[in-house]
Homo-oligomer: A and B are copies of this chain.
Amino acid sequence: MLFLYSMSTPQTISRIDSQVNEMLKKNSLSVTGSRKKILQLFLEQTGALAHGDIEKRAGEKFDRVTVYRTLQTFVDKGIIHTIPTADNSIRYALCKDQCSEGHHHDHHIHFVCTNCSNTYCLDDVVTPEIKLPKGYSAKHVEVVVEGICKKCKGPVP
């Protein structure tokens, strides 16, 4: 008989930890060290993460290749999505609503701060309708706004 009680003690197993387990199981992924660690990073983070960030913060424990493969798995499963940026470095962010496998539907825009170089998903800002010339048909619209973010703007009056 185990002390199941103690296992769920707030200080022992964090809320995030169990959330991570749930998310992985929901996507029928086995719960492994790297997946937990990397998913944790995304949950603890407001903005998006570049591969470099992830490698720096999780890579000391895990192989470069493992990080690549884990990210790819998450993208395939619709847990995270990629954000194209002007400087050509892929960034990843959690999908707010679970995207279906292999098909992401991110209708929100992305914001890159030129000061702190953080990337944010502005989930409340939907991509605008674009009127295209005759003959062109749109499947997907990607909007990336560069500017100064809330935090860097300075004290709000």
Contact = CB atoms under 8 A, between A and B. Distances in A.
Interface stretch (A2-10, A12-20, A26-34, A120-128): A120-128
Contacts of A122: 132-133, 136
B85 A111 contact: no
Interface residues of A, number: 37
A56 interface: no
30 contacts: A84-B85, A84-B86, A88-B88, A114-B139, A122-B133, A124-B133, A125-B131, A125-B133, A128-B128, A130-B145, A132-B145, A132-B147, A135-B149, A135-B150, A135-B153, A136-B148, A136-B149, A136-B150, A136-B153, A137-B148, A138-B145, A138-B146, A141-B143, A141-B144, A141-B145, A141-B146, A142-B143, A142-B144, A142-B146, A143-B143
Interface of A: 82, 84-86, 88-90, 109, 111, 114, 122, 124-125, 128, 130-150, 153, 156
Given A122-B133, A139-B147, 18 more contacts: A82-B88, A84-B85, A88-B89, A111-B132, A125-B131, A125-B132, A128-B128, A128-B130, A130-B143, A135-B150, A135-B156, A136-B145, A136-B148, A136-B150, A138-B145, A140-B146, A141-B146, A142-B146
